[in-house]
Amino acid sequence: MSTTISRQKFLRYTASAGAAVLLSSLESWAVATPQKKLRVAVIGCGSVSNRYIPHLQTSPMIEIVSLCDIKYDRAVNQNNQYNVNARTYPDIDAMLRGVPFDMMITLTDMQVHGELNKKALMAGKHVWSEKPMANTYAEGKALFDLAKSKKLRIWGAPAVVNSPQFEFMSKTIQEGKLGRVSSAHGQYGHTGPNWSAFFYEKLGGSMPDLGVYNIATLTGLLGPARSVTAMLSIVNPERTVDDKGKIKVEAEDNAHILMMHDKNVISHVMCGFCYFDPHGHEATNQTLHSIQIYGDYGNMRLIGYDWETNGVMLDTSWTEPPKLVSTDKGGYVWQEGATRVGESVLKGTEPRINTEHALHVLEVIEAARKSQQTGMRIKLKSKFPWPIV
């Protein structure tokens, strides 16, 4: 998954090439940092931290040194529950003044990711952020530029490009096995989280929480979107959630997003918090497909979700039935992003997950909101290195 050169090879290479070698920020960070483990701080010790903390603990290259939550008992509880042996903090400022660390992992309410990520970068920390990495494309791009100016790195979830199924689908398209690709569809929904209000508050919604996976997959497979048209709606205007009781829903719980890519390829994403799915929020053992790609010589469907992949159904024959292929997950799990980029930071290698791709996905989400407000088709300006595989 990691590309470029290993830390050892890199050290040998730079020693021979001398000062003429232009170091990338990761490579130079790895060279300047002799420690054997990357020290990480997790901010936000709610639901998703139950997936991140154990996964981070599987890596011999990573040590969780700090846990932080404004609901302080959550930081303490996670420290005890997972035997982390970290320092615990009730807010980011205290954490940044506390024990030193190298990378912050942001797992808080979506709306505060941007401000927390900025504070971490300003304090000289790398950042892995759950989606979205900021509330707007402009805010995210400013974080990316800030990181570059400080020779730091920031990445945003999701990690869907890491799955072997994404790789298989991308290669199948790139090798022309589907012929000329014209259309694609992605869908992801369930009946919505019931633990926190932020999912339904302004700048929350089903797009940054759920659609973000399909938008990352479809732009990852088909290339950057050039324009977006969308319809968003609120189907359930009131919800009852654990942290605030009865609330008014302010962000879309139903979204249909159309993207125009290069070469007149059109894709569509449908996501919502009001979709019956007996596989629920966990979505395990899903046997139906969630992504479809159509060309004039073949089509393929991703079985399961792009974040919880179960194989690819490939159909390229007029006579043979479609075949289920690429069923090996190769160890991929959706919560691996922070672990993988953290390992890359330590090794000085470039991970497949790309920040400009996450920013592009954020611009698509923002454009979809604008399209809903204005009834207009919205042009996009961002790009990312493509093809990814």
Ligand X SMILES: NC(=O)c1ccc[n+]([C@@H]2O[C@H](COP(=O)([O-])OP(=O)(O)OC[C@H]3O[C@@H](n4cnc5c(N)ncnc54)[C@H](O)[C@@H]3O)[C@@H](O)[C@H]2O)c1
Q: Which is nearer to ligand X, 27 or 109 (CB)?
A: 109
- Nearest approach in angstroms of CB 46 to ligand X is 2
| Residue with token string 């207009």 | 376
List Cα–Cα distances, 158 to 50, 77, 147, 152, 220, in angstroms: 17, 26, 19, 20, 12
- Which pair of tokens denotes residue 214? 């399909």
Q: Which is nearer to ligand X, 204 or 224 (CB)?
A: 204
Inter-residue long-range contacts of 366-373, CB under 8 Å, 24+ positions, other chains counted: 366/136, 366/137, 367/227, 367/228, 367/230, 368/207, 368/228, 368/230, 368/232, 368/255, 368/257, 369/207, 369/230, 369/232, 371/228, 371/229, 371/230, 371/231, 372/230, 372/231, 372/232, 372/252
Whether residue 119 contacts residue 66, with contact meaning beta carbons closer than 8 Å, is answered with no
Q: Which residue is nearest to ligand X (CB)?
A: 46
- Nearest approach in angstroms of CB 49 to ligand X is 6
Q: Which is nearer to ligand X, 224 or 337 (CB)?
A: 337
Q: Contact residues for ligand X (CB under 6 A)?
A: 43-48, 68-71, 74, 92, 107-110, 112, 116, 130-131, 195-196, 209
Q: Which is nearer to ligand X, 114 or 224 (CB)?
A: 114
Within 13 Å, how many C-alpha atoms sit on residue 270's CB side? 9
- Nearest approach in angstroms of CB 92 to ligand X is 6
| Residue with token string 């709610």 | 46
Q: Which is nearer to ligand X, 92 or 225 (CB)?
A: 92
Q: Which is nearer to ligand X, 21 or 241 (CB)?
A: 241
List Cα–Cα distances, 281 to 166, 188, 377, in angstroms: 21, 10, 32
- Nearest approach in angstroms of CB 296 to ligand X is 36
- Nearest approach in angstroms of CB 145 to ligand X is 22
